Structure 1
Amino acid sequence: MQRPPTRVVSTCAAPLLLGLLAGCGGSAEATDTTAPTTPQGVTAQASSSTSVHVMWEPSSDDTAVAGYEIYREGTRVRTVPAAKRMIDVDGLTASTAYAFTVRARDAAGNLSGPGPGVPVTTQPTPPDDRDAPTVPGPPRATGVGTDGVTLSWTAATDDIGVTSYDVYQEDSRIHSVSATVTSARLTGLRPGTVYTFTVRARDASDKSSADSRAVDVTTASAPGAPASTAPTGLRTETSGKPGSYAVALSWDQPEVGGVIPAYELYLDGKATTTVVWGGTPPKGRATYELTLTEPEGTRHSVKIRAKLPDGKWGDFSAQRTLVLGG
């Protein structure tokens, strides 16, 4: 009588510890159980009667920080990605005390400790406020080492009162200070890079002024690093009418040790066109005219970079903001 085939059962059943898998020819992926460090330097500033601006310093993690969670009295109210370290918390009540904490989270879901709660009281309900603050005076910028900048500006005024100043870098708000302060120290910048900053004033009704005049500053290059290849002195001039605006651009070309065959033009942060000279590239100051067809009042940001003799793209120029018909 023929016996049935013998079934061989593996001793590596599922309930066995992960550490035994290696003996069965498998492998176990390491589990991340280490939480990020607790965010430091948390500040909470009452931007208006109904909002608070929360900022913090970056955390670190054995793998990578994936994001941050903002808590109000222990209740999570906002989450932001790892690249962001400031947020406005809205929908609050006037003249009310709150406490905010921030926790870092990694991709495995580990949360840092919350740190001590930072107290803040929202602004009182303002009287009828119809006017935005005046524009802050032209900012001044000084580079601090290879990764820092100090900004200062002249105070703005408001019919009710300025409550804060917001610092913008290429149309993105990156810092805020109270109305009693007219300067800011910015860190974490890249060496040998040109930055453009503007400042806006804000009042208790969350009305903001127009941008201040832009200021450009270039951080110092790292020791031994090559000089910046950014075009400088970028200027824009707009003419025409709605539906057909001509934007004249001009800039000083960088010294790159050879001929610059082309420039790449960025509009609102996206590559829009490549400027290629039809004949011999110009020397000294270069010009280009861009045609735009949007309605009057449309706002754009523009910056350029050179194509270097080795075929690589160079550093970006300072960014300029233009308003069609403005």
Structure 2
Amino acid sequence: MRRVRATPVLLRATPNLLRAALALPRTAVVCAALLLLASCGMTDEEDGHAPGAPAGVTAAAGSATSVHVMWDAVTADPGIGTYEIYRGTTKVKEVAGSEHMVDVTRLRPATLYTFTVRARDTDGRLGPRSRTVQARTPVAVAADHSAPTRPLTPQGRVIGSRAVQLSWGGSTDDRGVVSYDIYQGGAKIHSVGGAQTATVVTGLRPSTRYSFTVRARDAADNLSPASTAVPLTTAPGNDDGSGTAPTDFRASTHRGDDGAYYIDLSWVPPRTDGVVTEYQIQLDGQAATSLVWGGTPPRDHAKYSFYTGRDTGVSHRVRLRARLPDGTWGGFSAERTVTTGDAGA
């Protein structure tokens, strides 16, 4: 339940009130003061604890005008609603509580910036700032169309069931490498500074096979070709993967103004350590379309409609799955059957 902050009440002490208070025994004055604070100073919002400060905050320049900021997830009751990212004292970004990294853009080249992160829980309580981290954007370069070379000889090893360590040979660039992006399959899942040629990727799933590649980025945002792939399989753990499928999946059909039929889908996104932005929709056992959210993807309920034809009385089987923050595909939702011209199911 959302708590409502009480409006503070300003009490003005009159001379008669002060004389009466001074005439009271000391214990009575203390009790009256405590009673006054309890009735006027406390709010419903203060009967819990604000979330703690995010730990593990890092910042690295991604280009001459951007910095990549990352942090560890904060645990809070009832949960984290959003994270706020500050450049100095100015809030520059706000992301969903499921996100733990962001690119801060529109920065000045060759400038030192400081960043902090704060967590806000779903009841609206704002936690303290994280430790301050710094990042300096490189000097801007004009008309740079030359990409860095491919990162060389990438290697990796498994660190338990949820993390791997990667290393690679550095790339070269006529203006300098600013950052390295780590991909799992075709999804970017991590980023480090250009002086770093090793990293630990966390938030993975147990007993899961991954394929990692690395790409170098220069100050003009030119990307190198991908390195050769590093296949790794995480160690066994207690995650059976059942939590990776969208839930409360529903499907129906409607007829549009153009006379064609559309399938309407709704679902609850899987709860993951990160944000889900991409889904694959399967129709009649075959991949039909990919859905990539622009802007802020929904966290509670998602909806999508797509064209299915003009014929009435045609039945279709439909289900979908999410691309998880670690770059792999999660489990499929339950399968639904719909028939064009029906009210839906």
Give the TM bin, normalised by the shorter chain.
0.5 to 0.7
| 1:270 aligned residue (280, 285, 295) | 280
Task: Give 1:48's aligned residue.
Answer: 63
| 1:202 aligned residue (217, 220, 233) | 217
Q: Give unpaired runs (5+ residues) of structure 2.
A: 1-5, 7-43, 241-277, 290-320, 330-345
| 2:87 aligned residue (62, 72, 83) | 72
User: Would the alpha carbon gap of residues 125 and 107 (structure 1) be closer, same or farther in structure 2, given more than 3 Å must change?
Assistant: same
Letter in 1 for 2:215: R
Q: Is the 8 A contact 2:151 2:169 kept in 1?
A: yes
- Cα distance in 1 for residues equivalent to 2:59 and 2:72: 13
State whether structure 2 residue 187 is matched by structure 1 residue 177. no
User: Would the alpha carbon gap of residues 133 and 177 (structure 1) be closer, same or farther in structure 2, given more than 3 Å must change?
Assistant: same
| 1:101 aligned residue (104, 107, 116) | 116
**1:151 counterpart SS class:** strand
> Identity of aligned pairs, percent?
43
**1:153 counterpart SS class:** strand
Letter in 2 for 1:152: S
1:28-83 CA-to-partner distances (Å, cap 9, x unmatched) read x9987421111011111122221111111111102111221101111111111122
Q: Is the 8 A contact 1:196 1:319 kept in 2?
A: no
Question: RMSD in angstroms over aligned alpha carbons?
Answer: 3.2
Letter in 2 for 1:272: Q
Give the 5 Å matches for 1:149-298.
149-222=164-237, 269-272=279-282
User: Would the alpha carbon gap of residues 77 and 32 (structure 1) be closer, same or farther in structure 2, given more than 3 Å must change?
Assistant: farther
Q: Is the 8 A contact 1:141 1:149 kept in 2?
A: yes
Normalised by the size of structure 1, how large is the TM-score? 0.59
1:141-161 CA-to-partner distances (Å, cap 9, x unmatched) read 211111110111222221211
Following TM superposition, by how much is the alpha carbon of 1:272 offset from its aligned partner in structure 2, in angstroms?
Answer: 3.4
- Cα distance in 1 for residues equivalent to 2:284 and 2:208: 22
User: Would the alpha carbon gap of residues 319 and 102 (structure 1) be closer, same or farther in structure 2, given more than 3 Å must change?
Assistant: closer
Letter in 2 for 1:78: K
Following TM superposition, by how much is the alpha carbon of 1:93 offset from its aligned partner in structure 2, in angstroms?
Answer: 0.8
Give the 5 Å matches for 1:82-121.
82-121=97-136
Determine which structure has the larger helix proportion and give its number. 2
Following TM superposition, by how much is the alpha carbon of 1:319 offset from its aligned partner in structure 2, in angstroms?
Answer: 6.5
Following TM superposition, by how much is the alpha carbon of 1:209 offset from its aligned partner in structure 2, in angstroms?
Answer: 1.7
- Cα distance in 2 for residues equivalent to 1:53 and 1:183: 17
- Cα distance in 1 for residues equivalent to 2:176 and 2:106: 21
Normalised by the size of structure 2, how large is the TM-score? 0.56
Q: Is the 8 A contact 2:80 2:122 kept in 1?
A: yes
Q: Give unpaired runs (5+ residues) of structure 1.
A: 1-14, 16-28, 227-267, 277-289, 293-312, 321-326
- Cα distance in 1 for residues equivalent to 2:328 and 2:153: 16
1:5-43 CA-to-partner distances (Å, cap 9, x unmatched) read xxxxxxxxxx9xxxxxxxxxxxxx998742111101111
**1:87 counterpart SS class:** strand
Following TM superposition, by how much is the alpha carbon of 1:95 offset from its aligned partner in structure 2, in angstroms?
Answer: 1.4
**1:139 counterpart SS class:** strand
Following TM superposition, by how much is the alpha carbon of 1:204 offset from its aligned partner in structure 2, in angstroms?
Answer: 0.9
1:86-105 CA-to-partner distances (Å, cap 9, x unmatched) read 11111111111211100111
Q: Is the 8 A contact 2:45 2:125 kept in 1?
A: no
Following TM superposition, by how much is the alpha carbon of 1:210 offset from its aligned partner in structure 2, in angstroms?
Answer: 2.9
